[in-house]
A and B are shown apart, each in its own frame.
Chain A
Amino acid sequence: MTATQDAPASVTEIGRDRRRKEDQRLITGRTRWTDNIQLPGMLHMAMVRSPFAHAKITAIDTSAAKAATNVVAVYTGKDLDESAGVLINAWAITTDQVAPDHPPIPADRVSFAGEIVAVVVARTPAEARDAAELVDVDYEELPAALDLKEAAEDKVLAHPDLGTNKSALWVFDSGEAGTGGNVEDAISKARTDGILIEREYRQQRLIPAFMEPRSVVVDPTGEQLTMWSATQIPHILRFALAATTGVPESKIRVIAPDVGGGFGGKLQVTPEEWTAWWVARQVHKPVKYTETRSESLMAAHHGRDQWQKLTLAAEKDGSVTGLKVELLADLGSHVAIVGGGVPVLGAFMFNSIYKFPAYHFACQTVLTNKTWTDAYRGAGRPEATYAIERLMDELAVELGVDPLEVREKNWIKHEEFPFTTVAGLEYDSGNYEEATAKAKANFGYDELRAEQKRRRDENDPVQLGIGVSTFTEMCGLAPSRVLGQLNYGAGGWEHASVRMLPTGTVEVVTGASAHGQGHETAFSQIVADRLGVRFEDVEILHGDTQVSHKGLDTYGSRSLVVGGEALVKAADKVIEKAKPIAAHMLEANVDDIEFKEGRLGVRGTDQGVALAEVAMAAFAAHDLPDGVEPTLDSDATYDPVNFNFPHGTHLCAVEVDTETGQVKMRKYTCVDDIGNVINPLIVAGQVHGGLMQGIAQALFEEAVHDESGTLVSASFVDYLVPTAADTISFDVDHNTTPSLTNTLGTKGVGEAGTIASTPAVVNAVVDAVRAFGVSDIQMPCTPERVWRAIHAGDAGGADPTTGGAAPHFDESTGHEGQTDRTDGAGQ
């Protein structure tokens, strides 16, 4: 027997810029978004939401709504029973974390503007919405905890029964952990005999703003109850439904069909899902709920929202000696599924690529009467990267050197890997020197610096600013053992199955759940290479818990580095299972069988069989060796041994019109090291989109509440997701040091652009106007804020944003002069 005539694919799929398999349906409209699903007898839900941030519900009159045309039912919080379940927090960051109960619909008190107070079920969406207008709710307004700093002082309680707004205080100290020295010693020394940079930065509240509004359909008519949801986490969703609503897990099927973006915003278990789940079981008919954009912006979880108090100590020569980070993080009204874990994910990253000998991190999470917060692209690491990269620029100014010079002085040299950081992580690989050199060359760094000097010398009304961000991040969530140590409620493994179909195609099941990432393409490339089959012959299945019964879904740049590794292991098992059958077919000893490019051959001969032939032989099972199971199908569950650490150098040039405050992007160059690249086209797309979201935080986006707690940026008119006209094309390049923590040598890429770009842009804006005495501008750097910062020292600036150059928190110098304190922060 010989190999089939059809030549197997060459082993070069990995690294090819394959066009995506996913595209055909998406570009022709043959899509299955949750809101597209229609089922016989399906009913539609509309929500009645609280207009108040904090209020007692004193009465709800549903009679008019119930009497409306084609209304089937109206429910309030009082109607819910235990089977409605609760929304869970999966990560109590401390054992004494304070968290309010979170029913899908509260019975007597609302705690943010937008919370559901009643649900109307009707035959059409329009009739449900019309009837929702007829629900009459009486509220007794309560004082609302809105400002994060005031909430942290318990001036007004978001949940009076809890007695405090302070949810949890999470601390890491390198002295106590044994990973470094005592930061207070470093600070004392720097105060008398070194450089101390003390700053307070604001991470404004953001909204993930995925393009597909959330939607959920529940069908209670089968033996299994089925939920379709626009979610990133079908497996976790199924677990949480089972754990809280009394329906056995084996009776629950969750499907994430086509999902239109997530960015962390669909990493949630939601009141809307739980309400639909419960309502369907009351009315015994399929129900659907699709939110409006305004509802989405109001009630889907928000991201970021921190105050960062930062102290960096250094020697006079610029060598860093200590870093102290004190965060206040706004949880919003409830502790969401990851909740306080988001800032904790940043705890290990403030020290970034620099060799700090001492580090202290403390994060106080705080409940307020605003929309709940949770993961948004980067989740903890953008906040950390922003803080350290802004501080390194300040240190450079203090020293009077180029910002790249002070970074290089302090970063881990390429020959020092693997490197154990002061936060206790082991960085496996990287080369900051090379990435930076490449970025400088691509950017034209020296030329732009020369132009900057020229414009300054000429007092050009349009000043040029150059911003730097040499970031790293941790991704590939996550080694289960580490998650256990952090008190997270689940593991961090991923599962994969490879099924060899008798006709020669390969079905691959992954527990990762794509919503735009291109898994079907990238994973096909990995499997095609590993098994020596054609790219076209691999089918990737995901997102349905009856097909993909086991998985931990997609977030934290984990799908490739964790899920991809599970694929490799499952594929390798297929080959091992094929070997004894091939040996039998070839009348050879199994020890002499070797697998190469899709063919199982006898070592040292030209005898061999194709893997597909072995699959067919296993399917027929007519002539298998004794005791051999008639299948090649294999499963693998992979638990990563470490995170991986993408890094890169991002350089941004902006033009700031000093007369108007307008910021214009001039050039953006990045050189990222994400290890080996499976598909450069997909990687570039991830970087572009990531950059845009980070730039949007720097320049455009902010969730703004008014003084009564109403979200005033509750539509795309006011929440400024950037348009094509707002930005420029990017210059994206790579430098590669393969990761040593997985066999493919890959590192995550999904969040890198977002994590890196925000400080690069703000550093550029501040750099452009530093000559005006400006050392900080609060994000987003709107024209008004930039203009005010420039004019803070003259009659043009009405508010006291005096330079923000306050070097210390000392009473004597004060920090009220910082432009952080300008208006417009989420009050």
Chain B
Amino acid sequence: MARIELTVDGAQVSDDVEPRMLLVQYLREKLGKTGTVIGCDTSNCGACTVHLDGRSVKSCNVLAVQANGHEVTTIEGLAEPGSLHAMQEAFHECHALQCGFCTPGMIMQSVDLLNDNPNPSEDEIRNGLEGNLCRCTGYHNIVRAVQAAAAAGATTAQPAAEKVEA
């Protein structure tokens, strides 16, 4: 067992974990952050995408011990309770989700994408989301949602993690 201390969605947490435990398992099993889900076992699907120090990572591809001393933001901490991040709004407005299973990862990746490139072309959006699979939407409305969020200036001048701390 290894002791880790980190910040998750603005809260300080500390646990003893097995060194082999994945960050996504830590989030779900230890912290009950079940908004972040597991869709595959080869880091292809991106359903488990979270932000580590403000950048997107697939949390099935990071060990919990690697997050020691870092700051993690999940879909549950992307916006203040009771409010929505502009990207969440855009996904709702553009009907960019159906079953919703890929959605947390897709939103977290989309936020990261706009942080990198506030005004992406459709091709840049499609390539930027290539690591996140969706089986329901055909991506059509996901692309629209990212475009809508970009147009609304959702480039997170205030990265989500900072917003939560505030």
A723 at the interface (CB under 8 A from B): yes
> Please, what's the 1-or-0 string for A271-301, where 1 marks a CB less than 8 Å from any CB in chain B?
0000000000000000000001110000000
Q: Which residues of A contact B75 (CB under 8 A)?
A: 27-29
Q: How far is the CA of A211 from the CA of B29 in the complex (A)?
A: 20
Q: Which of A1-48 contact B (CB under 8 A)?
A: 19-20, 22-31, 33, 35-36, 38
A555 to nearest B CB, angstroms? 15
Q: How far apart are B120's CB and chain A's nearest CB, in angstroms?
A: 12
- Tell me which of B51-59, B62-70, B132-140, B153-161 binds A: B132-140
Most B Cβ at <10 Å: residue of A24, A263, A724 = A724
B8 at the A/B interface (Cβ < 8 Å)? no
Choice from A27, A125, A724 contacting B139 with Cβ under 8 Å? A724
Those of B98-113 within 8 Å (CB) of chain A: 98-104, 107
Q: Name the contact of B47 in the complex, choosing from A22, A28, A211 (C-beta under 8 A).
A: A211
Contact indicator A515/B99 (Cβ below 8 Å): yes
Interface of chain A residues 677 through 703 with chain B (CB within 8 A): 681-682, 684-685, 688-693
Q: Given the known A-B contacts A29-B34, A211-B133, A212-B101, are A20 and B125 also in contact in the complex, defined by CB atoms under 8 Å?
A: no
B contact residues around A692 at 8 Å (CB): 137-139
The contact string, 1 if C-beta is below 8 Å from chain B, for chain A 694-727, is 0000000000000000000001110001011101
User: Contacts A19-B93, A723-B129, A725-B130 known; A29 to B76 CB distance under 8 Å?
Assistant: yes
Q: Is the CB of B138 within 8 A of A261?
A: no
Instruction: Please name all residues of chain B whose beta carbon is closer than 8 Å to the beta carbon of A515 when the two chains form the complex.
Output: 99
Are B133 and A723 in contact, with the CB atoms below 8 A? Answer: yes
A725-B74 in contact (CB<8A): no
By beta carbon, the residue of chain B nearest A516 is B99
Which listed residue, B28, B125, B131, B136, touches A689 by the CB 8 Å rule? B136
**B15 interfacial by beta-carbon distance below 8 Å:** no
Question: Could you say which residues of chain A place their CB within 8 Å of the CB of B130?
Answer: 723-725
- Measured in the bound complex, the distance between the Cα atoms of B102 and A212 in whole Å is 8
Q: Is A660's beta carbon under 8 Å from chain B?
A: no
Within 8 Å CB of B45, what residues of A? Answer: 211, 293, 716
Assuming A211-B45, A211-B101, A715-B41, is B139 touching A685 (CB within 8 A)?
A: no
A730 to B144, alpha carbons, bound, how many Å?
12
Query: Contact at B92–A27, with CB atoms within 8 Å?
Result: yes
Contact A293 B101 (CB under 8 A): no
Q: Any chain A CB within 8 A of the CB of B42?
A: yes
B127 within 8 A of A: yes
Known contacts: A28-B35, A211-B133, A725-B126. The answer to whether A20 contacts B92 by CB under 8 A is yes
Tell me if A210 is interfacial: C-beta within 8 Å of chain B. Answer: yes
Q: How many residues of A contact B (CB 8 A)?
A: 56
Q: Are B122 and A685 in contact (CB under 8 A)?
A: no
B7 within 8 A of A: no
Instruction: State the main secondary structure of chain B at its contact with A.
Output: loop
Q: Are B135 and A689 in contact (CB under 8 A)?
A: yes
- Minimum CB–CB distance for A390 against chain B, Å: 23
B135/A209 in contact, CB under 8 A: yes
Minimum CB distance partner of A685 in chain B: B95
Q: Which residues of B contact A753 (CB under 8 A)?
A: 138
Judge whether B101 and A685 touch: CB under 8 Å.
no
The reply to whether the CB of B61 lies closer than 8 angstroms to some CB of chain A is no
In contact, B143 and A261 (Cβ under 8 angstroms)? no
For B18, the closest partner residue in chain A by CB is A126
* A31 close to B100 (CB less than 8 A): yes
A234 part of interface (Cβ distance < 8 Å): no
Cβ-closest chain B residue relative to A515 = B99
The answer to whether residues A293 and B84 also contact, given A19-B92, A685-B141 and a CB cut-off of 8 A, is: no
Q: Are A24 and B92 in contact (CB under 8 A)?
A: yes
Q: Are A716 and B42 in contact (CB under 8 A)?
A: yes
Choose from A36, A213, A259 the contact partner of B39 (Cβ within 8 Å): A213
**Do A689 and B133 have beta carbons less than 8 Å apart?**
no
Say yes or no: A716 contacts B44, CB within 8 Å: yes
A467 at the interface (CB under 8 A from B): no
Q: Are B95 and A211 in contact (CB under 8 A)?
A: no
Interface pair B97/A27, CB less than 8 Å apart: yes
Contacts of B44 in A (CB 8 A): 715-717
Give chain B residues whose Cβ lies under 8 Å from the Cβ of A776: none
- Chain A residues 202 to 221 lying within 8 A of chain B, measured CB to CB, are 209-213
User: Which residues does chain B contribute within 8 Å of A30, judged by CB atoms?
Assistant: 35, 76
In the bound complex, what is the Cα–Cα distance between A213 and B135 (angstroms)? 12
Looking at B28, B42, B122, B132, the one whose CB has the most chain A CB atoms below 10 A away is: B42
In the complex formed, the residue of B with least CB distance to A213 is: B39
B72 interfacial contact with A, CB 8 Å? no
Q: What CA separation (Å) do A263 and B137 show in the bound complex?
A: 12
* B150 at the A interface (CB under 8 A): no
A213 to B48, CA, bound (A): 13
- Contact for A688 among B21, B93, B137, CB less than 8 A: B137
Contact status of A22 and B133, CB under 8 A, knowing A36-B34, A692-B138: no
Q: What 6 additional pairs, Cβ within 8 angstroms, besides A27-B88, A213-B39, A259-B99?
A: A29-B34, A684-B140, A723-B129, A723-B131, A725-B130, A727-B139
27 example contacts (A-B, Cβ-Cβ < 8 A) are as follows A20-B92, A20-B95, A23-B91, A23-B100, A26-B97, A26-B103, A27-B103, A27-B104, A29-B34, A30-B35, A31-B37, A38-B32, A210-B135, A211-B45, A211-B102, A260-B101, A261-B101, A292-B41, A293-B42, A682-B95, A685-B137, A688-B138, A715-B41, A723-B126, A723-B130, A723-B132, A724-B125
